[in-house]
Amino acid sequence: MKIEIKKPTLSALQEDKEAVIGPWKMIWIRLRENKMALTGLIIMGVIIFISVFAPFLTPYDPYQYDFGITFQAPSMKHWLGTDEMGRDYLTRILYGGRISMQVGLFSVTVAIGLGALIGGISGYYGGWIDNILMRVGEVISSLPFMPFAITISAVLGARVKEEHKLYLIMIIIGTLSWPGLARLIRGQILSLREQEFMQAATALGISDRKKIVKHLLPNTYGYLIVNATLGMAGAIMSESALSFLGLGVAPPVPTWGNLILYARDMYTLMYRPWLWVPPGICIFLAVLSINLIGDALRDAVDPKSNR
């Protein structure tokens, strides 16, 4: 006998009133039914794949220079040509993806860590703590991002070793982007705090720390994930812009942002498009896929939202 197993679709599940689905499963099902999200996931999957397996995908070393073959045009041997030091450019892009994605990921981690912590404390304790924290957040979010990131990077960058600049950038982007998240989490917690289950927790004598970590924060995970996703798009964008201005991750470490730096040389801009168009397209695709996923996640987490 053959048993047919049908994948549950949202509509099927809704009709079947008996089926109880958890929120995560619900989100996953909604996501799967969204074509845009699927496109985003596929692009992202490819980017992650090439970033992780870069060493196996190319026979070249991204730092191995060879002054005999500088500035070669694309060929069968070097698909995207070579750069000013004769390094294989495609290899540099593959490895650049690794760094760019890492910077994005870590910046967002920093932002989320700070945002969740500060928002959590602010929303939970309220009063003057809340007042001060939110005021600081307000200042940071009203600082014009790029000029400040540039200034901080230039000022602090001079005191940091070139190879550590990567971390500096992550920290700068992270510390400049937490206020939005903190405000969001604070708002969520303020509204959740009033609800009965928190009063029940208080009645049971559960400690503050435990209340925040175990009972309040889990309720904000949905928003956190959406924001983390969209924040990552922003972080990748910021890193590339800073690197493009020469104030981000410094060569020889390749990132998509500092690879486009070649375009600031007029001759390269005009006659060697293969040296700056591909990393630009990579940034665009990465950010696009993250945005697509983020939008779909937002719709999935908050079904009332409109897009």
What is the DSSP-derived secondary structure letter of residue 248? Answer: S
Could you tell me the two tokens for 22? 């958890």
Could you tell me the two tokens for 30? 């909604």
Q: In Å, how far from its chain's centre is CA 79?
A: 29
Least Cβ distance, residue 220 to another protein (angstroms): 21
Residues 89-148 that bind another protein (CB under 8 A): 135-136, 138-139, 141-148
Least Cβ distance, residue 142 to another protein (angstroms): 5
For another protein, give the closer residue by CB, 115 or 217: 115
Q: Which long-range contacts (CB under 8 A, 24 or more apart) does 133-142 make?
A: 133/182, 134/182, 134/183, 134/186, 137/178, 137/179, 137/182, 137/183, 138/179, 140/175, 140/176, 140/178, 140/179, 141/179, 141/180
- Contact in structure between 65 and 86 (CB atoms under 8 Å): yes
For another protein, give the closer residue by CB, 14 or 191: 14
* Residue selected from 67, 68, 159, 204 as contacting another protein according to rule CB under 8 A: 159
280 interacts with another protein by CB under 8 A? yes
263 interacts with another protein by CB under 8 A? yes
For another protein, give the closer residue by CB, 2 or 6: 6
Least Cβ distance, residue 269 to another protein (angstroms): 6
Q: In Å, how far from its chain's centre is CA 2?
A: 45
Which range touches another protein (CB under 8 A), out of 76-84, 86-94, 216-224, 259-267? 259-267
11 interacts with another protein by CB under 8 A? yes
Count of Cβ atoms closer than 10 Å to residue 215 Cβ: 16
Could you tell me the two tokens for 215? 């009972």
For another protein, give the closer residue by CB, 150 or 185: 150
Q: Go through 252-275 and write b for each residue having 16 or more CB atoms within 10 A of its CB, e for each that does not.
A: ebbbbbbbbbbbeeeebeeebebb
Q: Minimal CA–CA distance to 13: which of 3, 27, 4? A: 27
Number of shown-chain residues binding another protein (CB under 8 A): 51
Residues 205-244 that bind another protein (CB under 8 A): 233, 237, 240-241, 244
Least Cβ distance, residue 225 to another protein (angstroms): 19
d(CA 277, CA 190): 47
292 interacts with another protein by CB under 8 A? yes
Which range touches another protein (CB under 8 A), out of 111-119, 202-210, 211-219, 281-289? 281-289
270 interacts with another protein by CB under 8 A? yes
For another protein, give the closer residue by CB, 80 or 283: 283
156 interacts with another protein by CB under 8 A? yes
Least Cβ distance, residue 242 to another protein (angstroms): 9
Least Cβ distance, residue 241 to another protein (angstroms): 6
d(CA 286, CA 45): 10
267 interacts with another protein by CB under 8 A? no
In sequence order, what DSSP letters do the residues of 141-185 get, joined into one string?
A: HHS-HHHHHHHHHHHHHTTS-GGGHHHHHHHHHHHHHHHHHHHHH
d(CA 16, CA 35): 24
Residues in contact with another protein by CB under 8 A are 11, 14-15, 36, 135-136, 138-139, 141-148, 150-152, 154-156, 158-159, 233, 237, 240-241, 244-245, 247, 260, 263-264, 266, 269-270, 273, 276-277, 280, 283-284, 287-288, 291-292, 295, 305-307
